Amino acid sequence: MGAQKKGGARVSDDSEEQSRQRLQAILLADSFTTKFRPVTLERPKVLLPLVNVPMIDYTLAWLESAGIEEVFVFCCAHSTQIIDYLETSEWRTHPNLVVRTIESHKSISAGDALRYIYEQQTETSQIQGDFVLVSGDTVSNMPLADLVQEHRERKKKDEKAIMTMVIKKSKPSLITHQSRLGTDQLFIAVDPLTKQLLHYEEDKVDHARGSVCLDKSLMESNPSVLLYNDMQDCYIDICSPEVLSLFEDNFDYQHLRRHFVKGVLVDDIMGYKIFTHEIGSSYAARVDNFRSYDTVSKDIIQRWTYPYVPDINFGGNRPVKLGREGIYRACDVVQSRSADVGASTVVGYGTKIGNGDRILNSVIGSGCSIGSNVVIEGSYIWNNVTIEDGCEIRNAIVCDGVRIRAGAVLEPGVVLSFKVVVGRDFVVPAYSKVSLLQQPMKEDSDEELEYADSSSGAADRLSGLSLEMESKGSELGPDGAGYIWEVCEGAHDEEWKHSVAPIPEDKLAEITQAMDDYDDMEDESVVPTSGELKSDADSINTDVNDPGDDYGYFEKEVEGTFLRAVEEGIKVELGVLEINSLRLSYNMESADCAGAIFYSMMKLAVDTPHSSGSELYKNAASIIAKWKGLLGFYVKQTDEQIEVIMKFEEMCQETAKELGPLFAQILHVLYEKDVVQEDAIMRWAEEKAGADEADKVYLQQCETIPQMDNNLAGDSPPPPPRPKWRKVAYGGMQIGYDDNYTDETFLEEMVMNANVVRRDLLKVMKDSVSISQYLCIVALVVLVWFHTLQSSLDETSLLLLDLSLLALGFLVLLLTEEKMLSLRLLLRYVINITFFTTGLYVLAPVYQTLTRSISSDSIWAVTVSLLLLHLFLHDYSGSTIRAPGAVKSPSLTSCISVNASVVASVFVASRLPSRGHVFAVMLFSLQVFLFAPLVAYCIKKFSFGLHLGFSFALMGLTMYSVYALHRLFFVLFLVLVVVVNVVCPYWLIRIQEYKFEINGPWDEAKLCFDITD
């Protein structure tokens, strides 16, 4: 249904009508800002690659999976490029999502866009009811169906509820007052019961004083108000049709938040309301600037946006393979062996990486060519980029078609627009923006202006912006091409705040100094990160942040990391890695980490439901027992242990007073779990000995515990120190240590892939010849069987073949084994063979009639199965019978294999016409299956070269015989030989790089001698 003028639109209360409404969304494919210039002068922001996938694909894929059935894409800047992309993508024919485009060249803000959509709506009535309003640079995986239904239910109860905003917790920096996405700190006020938005502020907070001004009427009309300064606006809105009509009636509404939201909040006449919806575990973020581009890219690589990650197909992207350490690599990447591709890196299709390159925490697009000795860290290299030898790129963005000549350096924060050429050995200054387009001398003062017509050339695009151009030459060296844009006056802070590079230390020091100066001038009260104000509050001008150092923020980050580790069951080792990264980011010491971790553990114990002090003690003890490894990693020194005790004492006095009565008991748990040593407790007690009585409360509490009284009171000598722990395999428990105790050397002795055998491809291929050799032997036996059954071989020919093979086999044994020259041993073999052949001839009539009552089909099926079992269990490295001089007899599986071949031979012989045929075939089969492996083993043992020659000759004979039988069989057998001798060895070598075996002191001891006697 179409939206009407202000006050005229209504949403039907009929639930059936609402259930028939399609879930629709309006996607703004223009940001109406200049934050991505100069890149967006040539390509629309929604088509810029985010981890090698256009931004708009993330938004459309999420909307489709969330149940949205129809999306209206509003195109303004570079509308032709966007429409062409959608027409050629899979979204044009997607079965579950209808994508329609709305084009306008006159809109210069989000307000103009929604007014234009309203005008179209009055004619076409495309928007049928409530809709989702998002930007084309949104990445999310949150569900929408329930949120839309919640909005509709609220609208049925209160017809003034026209919009629901999605928000998410995101603690801003206490120094820069920015969220992790680089956006300004947001201050909102919400009704704690109804979640109605009461106040929204993002640009007038006094960060220096940490205060914000609230309207006094806000407190008078609401009994209680929740104040937040740790929320992030996701710019995902569930809107009723009245939103469009409000934009139509108020032409001064340009920005969605600064104008529309604030206008609704202060409008007492119409009484429209906006509500909030806070998401928890789901992900939602908007790529608003280069810093958020960097942050969201890292979140995608670290899989917070699952299923929209590089190794999963969505939106028509080409998924890449995920390896260890979060490395995504396309299947056709050409990488030098000496190149080092580090963790959290994505490499696209057709990219070549040269010798000695080092790539870490970066995204490399498709078709890139990277020379030798190149360093790329924390950067984003788009498609078809050429980087010559010796270049250094750190925390930069390099667009399509850029060429960086040898020795060039990109300092942090650099942005190279399309097809820029950086000259040889040229150093691009930090935070520079470089483009082939000259920088305009004057720009429109309206922050929302950013539009261009992609159908024209570069000059036409700039003239379309009504900007004066400055004439310059190339500023990137003699062999370079491009212009370095100058930072506009008053925008220096925006460059480093919104850059992909880390914030410089000197800037942080300046801000900290300014905050300290304000601290010296006035000392005001502090409101916590999120708190509740009552209506009888004496002051409305309230501080929102403690302008202290960065430790408070660090502590919050550690707490969030610890809680996530508890919820997701993360291992201690991974938790250590995450906290180490935070420690390095905030330049903290191990003692700081220990205090923050212990604070998080005790806070979790307090927050866990409990009804008495004993239950609280059990909560704390269980948490310490489970996570003592994480805490213990940072309390190896006595000073760090004292920091934990003092942090605990501070918590009991201030933030968690209910832990106070349990101080001594919990400290004793820390002592028993070897987290805190006796020396640390004694030093803490010595420091407290000279303090005031008020500060000795917890020291006196410890003296009431008998186990700790002797040590702290000093009435009796301390117990003897524990003996030093020794690592022994046997000998029982060591006094003073748990049976599973390990010292700090436990992880230091951990090694990876210590027992992995490094194989050579040629050697593996040579070893595989033995398999092909025996396959040929079995194939020749089957051919003899076939020709005998077809009466192509008579019994006389078979007997001559048997005698020839027997004589040839003995000759090989005589020539390859010196011990076989003994006449006595030869005579013994002759007698055994005589008895063997005589018994076989006597039993031939029995074999001939053995399976007379069984059908031939069953016989052939069983014979084939037995031959496959024989091949599967055969010992290809040895002999089926005990070779002369061998120590070990054949294995059980080898014996089963021989029996399977003998039974198969009996089955075949039972289908022959005469006693002579049966005897000849059985003698031939047993000679081959029993003695051929022995002969092959002796040849291989005598000379490996002779073994290869014999094997290739046997392969040639088999190929010729199979080809004479049937060409199809010849092709199949040839493929089998190639797979065994070439494909399988290559595959074995390739999978070695994926082997991941951890060895350490926990491995069982292995005997290094052979017990054969």
Domains of the chain: 21-186+229-286 (3.90.550.10), 320-497 (2.160.10.10), 551-747 (1.25.40.180), 768-994 (no CATH)
Query: pLDDT grade, residue 191 (50/70/90)?
Result: confident
- Digit-coded pLDDT (tens) for 641-653: 888 888 777 777 7
CA distance 700 to 685: 10
| Six-digit token string for 210 | 């940490």
What are the contacts of 760-764 at 24+ separation with CB within 8 A?
761/985, 761/986, 761/989, 764/985, 764/988, 764/989
Q: What's the one-letter identity of residue 337?
A: R
Q: State the pairing for strand pair 530-534/224-228.
A: antiparallel
**Residue 324 carries which DSSP code?**
G
Most distant CA pair in the chain, distance = 121
For tokens 């006597």, name the residue. 842
DSSP reduced 3-state for 228: strand
Q: Residue 955: which H helix or E strand, with range?
A: helix 944-965
Which one has a higher pLDDT value, 223 or 348? 348
The answer to whether residue 211 scores a pLDDT higher than 80 is no
CA distance 681 to 636: 14
Structure confidence at residue 386 (pLDDT): 93
User: For residue 958, how many other CB atoms are within 10 A of its CB?
Assistant: 22
Phi, psi of 196 (to 5 degrees): -75, 135
Structure confidence at residue 362 (pLDDT): 92
User: What is the mean predicted confidence (pLDDT) over 500-505?
Assistant: 73
Query: pLDDT grade, residue 493 (50/70/90)?
Result: low
Which among 392, 368, 363 is positioned nearest to 379, based on CA atoms?
A: 363
CA distance 98 to 189: 37
User: What is the mean predicted confidence (pLDDT) over 77-93?
Assistant: 86
The answer to whether residue 548 scores a pLDDT higher than 50 is no
- Digit-coded pLDDT (tens) for 964-981: 888 888 888 889 888 888
CA distance 230 to 529: 6
Say which residues have a Cβ less than 8 Å from residue 28's Cβ, sequence separation at least 6: 74, 110, 113, 133, 134, 135, 136
Cis status of the peptide bond prior to 307, with omega within 30 of 0: yes
Burial (CB < 10 A; 0-12, 13-18, 19+), residue 688, is buried
Structure confidence at residue 656 (pLDDT): 67
Query: pLDDT grade, residue 457 (50/70/90)?
Result: very low
Structure confidence at residue 715 (pLDDT): 45
* H-type alpha helices, 233-363: 242-249, 262-266, 290-301
The answer to whether residue 542 scores a pLDDT higher than 50 is no
- Digit-coded pLDDT (tens) for 261-310: 888 888 777 888 899 998 887 888 888 888 889 889 988 888 888 888 88
**Residue 601 carries which DSSP code?**
H
**What would the 3-class secondary structure string for 349-375 be?**
CCCEECCCCEEECCEECCCCEECCCCE
| Six-digit token string for 338 | 């000496």
Angle between helix axes 944-965 and 967-978 (nearest 10 degrees) is 150
CB 880 within 8 A of CB 897: yes
DSSP reduced 3-state for 999: strand
Rounded mean pLDDT of the chain? 76
| Six-digit token string for 218 | 């806000």
The answer to whether residue 465 scores a pLDDT higher than 50 is no
User: What is the mean predicted confidence (pLDDT) over 529-546?
Assistant: 42
CA distance 639 to 590: 10
User: What is the mean predicted confidence (pLDDT) over 213-230?
Assistant: 76
CB 32 within 8 A of CB 448: yes
Query: pLDDT grade, residue 722 (50/70/90)?
Result: low
Length of the chain (residues) = 1013
| Six-digit token string for 694 | 């008020």
| pTM, rounded to two decimals | 0.53
**Residue 14 carries which DSSP code?**
-
Query: pLDDT grade, residue 376 (50/70/90)?
Result: very high
CA distance 317 to 301: 15
User: What is the mean predicted confidence (pLDDT) over 622-640?
Assistant: 83
CA distance 660 to 648: 9
Report the alpha-carbon angle 242-245-246, nearest 5. Answer: 85
Which one has a higher pLDDT value, 475 or 483? 483
CA distance 163 to 271: 13
Q: State the pairing for strand pair 231-239/751-752.
A: unpaired
- Digit-coded pLDDT (tens) for 878-917: 666 655 555 456 678 878 888 888 888 888 888 887 888 8
CA distance 707 to 565: 33
**Residue 676 carries which DSSP code?**
S
Structure confidence at residue 441 (pLDDT): 63
Determine what percent of the chain falls in helix, strand and coil, rounding each to the nearest 5.
45, 15, 40
User: What is the mean predicted confidence (pLDDT) over 114-125?
Assistant: 76
What are the contacts of 964-972 at 24+ separation with CB within 8 A?
965/783, 965/786
Which among 161, 155, 162, 163 is positioned nearest to 14, based on CA atoms?
A: 155
DSSP reduced 3-state for 476: coil
**Most confident of the ranges 359-363, 566-570, 817-821:** 359-363
* C-alpha to C-alpha distances, 519 to 208, 209, 512, 540, 652, nearest whole angstrom: 9, 8, 10, 20, 27
Among 243-252, 612-621, 711-720, where is mean pLDDT lowest?
Answer: 711-720
The answer to whether residue 368 scores a pLDDT higher than 90 is yes
Structure confidence at residue 271 (pLDDT): 82
The answer to whether residue 323 scores a pLDDT higher than 80 is yes
CA atoms within 13 A on the CB side of 24: 20
DSSP reduced 3-state for 411: coil
**Strand ranges (E), 339-498:** 340-341, 345-347, 352-353, 358-360, 363-364, 369-370, 375-377, 380-381, 386-387, 392-394, 397-398, 403-404, 409-410, 415-416, 421-422, 427-428, 433-435, 483-485
- Digit-coded pLDDT (tens) for 853-886: 788 788 888 888 888 888 888 887 766 665 555 5
DSSP reduced 3-state for 387: strand
Phi, psi of 1001 (to 5 degrees): -70, -10
Question: What percentage of the chain has pLDDT greater than the value 90?
Answer: 9
